[in-house]
Each structure stands twice: as structure tokens, then as C-alpha cells.
């Protein structure tokens, strides 16, 4: 049985980075990172198609809920646990939390988002000589993007809070970029939405730091339904 790692006692600390670590954080959280995240709307394409998201206010609400009720209660808490598992060289815990994260994906497309970007991230980190031995105990087709993100963040000496900031920012930027094409939004409106939402990232990380092991998991039925229905959407731009 893997040793479960609680993070709800972690005190909130300001993010302080060396110049090198800051640059690595920017690289890791950039939309230009070649992992294919731009190809996945994560249910947003269907939400736009059926009229749930039709303007910038609706987009703000959709993404705020996704960030606070899913990423802040699932992806980010698991990232914190993966970082701790790496620090302790606990391969059993690392494999356990990787499996937990994939088990929370409610549709084939949401799972594909994780595994496809994870495979691309693995190739990228191999080219940067980032040690990946922590993943040896995991089936190659059952690895999540968050696990590889944690390996990169640990290798580049990013603090847990900085790593969470990068993860949430990269997700948010890709979602707003997708909405710009789908809603559609003008560039100015898209940047206004992005500016409002990025201010909510620190609070989302606060939530993540307080989530206990048995509280991990999101509950967004509309997102799950949008993702499932997207599989048979007549015309689409994105893979999910």
C-alpha cells in the first residue's frame, strides 16, 4: 500500500524564485510548450456549441468553476503529492497518485487529454535529460500529464506553490485560447477574461493546499456531459 501524503498542513508561503527557476517556470507553463495541449478544449467546444458558453461572462463562470471545483480539488492537490513523492523517492506513492488522477477523468476524451499530453511531455523531458525513473512502475499508457509536470518542476527546483501556479496558468491560457476561436471572442475580450481569472489562481492554490487525501476529486457534471457529447459532435476543431 502506498504511503499517502497529506498536504493540508503546508503553510502558505510567498513564491520566491531564482532567475533561472523563474525562466524554467515560464518555459514549463508556456502555451508554446510542445505537448499538444492546444488541441484539447476539455469539453468547452461542446459547451459553446449548445449555448452554455456564449459570451465572456459565461466563459468566466465556466472556467472559474472548472478551476475551483476541479483543478483546485484534483489536479493541483495531486501535483503537490507528486512533488512530495519525488522528494521522498517514494515510487509507490508516485504511481498511486498518478492512477488516482486518471481515475477521476470521467470520459474517454478527458482521459485522452491527460495521456496524450503526458506522452508528449515524456518525449520533451527526455530531450532535456530530466530523470524519469519515478515513472518506471507505471504502465506507459497510464501516465498523467500532472506526473510529468511534477518531475520537471522538481528537477528545475520550483517550489510547490510555483509549480501549482504554472500548472493552473498553462491550463487557463489554453482554455481562453480555445474560447477565442470557439465563442468567438475578440483578442481584447479574451485578455480581459484572462486577467480576471488569473487573479483567482492564488485562491485556487489555497484550496489545493487544504484538500485532504480522501477529499481529492472534482464534481462537474455539466463538464463531464459536454466532454462525453463532444465525442459525437458533428463538426469540431478540438480533440476533446
- The 10s digit of each residue's pLDDT in 80-135 is 999 999 999 999 999 999 999 999 999 999 999 999 999 999 999 999 898 999 88
Reported as a single tens digit per residue, the pLDDT across 123-168 is: 999 998 989 998 888 887 789 999 999 999 999 999 999 999 999 9
pLDDT of residue 14: 57
Q: Would you say residue 190 has pLDDT above 50?
A: yes
Phi-psi region of 138 (alpha: psi -120 to 50; beta: other; left: phi over 0): beta
219 and 65 Cβ atoms separated by less than 8 Å:
no
Residue 8: the pLDDT is 44
Helix 19-28, helix 160-182: angle, nearest 10: 40
Distance CA 40, CA 36 (A): 8
Integer CA distances (angstroms), 59 to 211, 225, 227, in order: 26, 17, 16
Domains assigned to the chain: 43-230 (1.10.4190.10)
Q: What is the pLDDT of residue 26?
A: 87
Q: Is residue 237 classed as helix, strand or coil in its secondary structure?
A: coil
Query: How far is it, in rounded angstroms, from Cα 168 to Cα 163?
Result: 9
Average pLDDT score over residue span 194-221: 94
- Residue tagged 488569473 (cell numbers): 198
Residue 111, pLDDT score: 93
User: What is the pTM assigned to this prediction?
Assistant: 0.90
- Can you read off the three cell numbers belonging to residue 237? 476543431
Q: What is the pLDDT of residue 13?
A: 55
Question: How far from chain centre, in Å, is Cα 14?
Answer: 21
% pLDDT > 90, the chain: 66
> In the predicted model, what is the mean pLDDT of the chain?
89
Give every CB contact of residue 236 below 8 A, 6+ residues apart in sequence: 45, 230
Measured CA to CA, the distance from residue 188 to residue 13 in angstroms comes to 33
What's residue 109's pLDDT? Answer: 92
Q: What is residue 27's predicted lDDT score, i.e. its pLDDT?
A: 85
| Banded pLDDT at 219 (limits 50, 70, 90) | confident
Length of the chain as a residue count: 240
12 pLDDT higher than 60: no
Q: Answer yes or no: is pLDDT of 42 > 80.
A: yes
Amino acid at each position: 500500500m502506498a504511503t499517502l501524503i497529506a498536504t493540508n498542513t503546508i503553510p502558505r508561503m510567498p513564491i520566491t524564485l531564482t532567475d533561472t527557476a523563474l525562466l524554467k517556470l515560464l518555459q514549463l507553463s508556456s502555451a508554446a510548450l510542445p505537448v499538444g495541449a492546444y488541441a484539447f478544449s476539455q469539453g468547452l467546444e461542446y459547451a459553446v456549441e449548445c449555448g452554455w458558453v456564449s459570451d465572456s461572462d459565461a466563459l468566466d463562470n465556466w472556467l472559474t468553476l472548472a478551476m475551483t471545483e476541479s483543478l483546485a480539488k484534483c489536479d493541483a492537490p495531486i501535483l503537490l503529492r507528486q512533488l512530495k513523492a519525488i522528494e521522498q523517492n517514494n515510487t509507490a506513492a508516485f504511481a498511486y497518485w498518478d492512477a488516482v488522477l486518471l481515475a477521476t477523468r470521467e470520459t474517454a476524451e478527458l482521459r485522452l487529454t491527460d495521456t496524450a499530453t503526458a506522452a508528449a511531455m515524456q518525449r520533451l523531458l527526455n530531450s532535456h535529460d530530466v530523470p524519469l525513473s519515478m515513472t518506471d512502475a507505471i504502465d506507459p499508457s497510464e501516465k498523467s500529464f500532472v506526473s510529468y509536470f511534477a518531475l520537471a518542476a522538481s528537477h528545475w527546483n520550483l517550489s510547490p506553490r510555483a509549480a501549482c501556479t504554472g500548472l493552473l496558468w498553462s491550463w487557463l491560457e489554453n482554455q481562453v485560447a480555445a474560447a477565442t476561436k470557439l465563442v468567438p471572442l475578440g483578442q481584447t475580450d479574451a485578455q480581459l477574461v484572462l486577467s480576471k481569472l488569473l487573479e483567482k489562481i492564488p485562491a485556487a492554490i489555497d484550496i489545493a493546499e487544504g484538500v485532504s487525501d480522501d477529499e481529492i476529486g472534482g464534481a462537474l457534471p455539466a463538464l463531464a456531459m459536454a466532454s462525453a457529447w463532444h465525442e459525437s459532435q458533428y463538426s469540431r476543431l478540438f480533440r476533446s
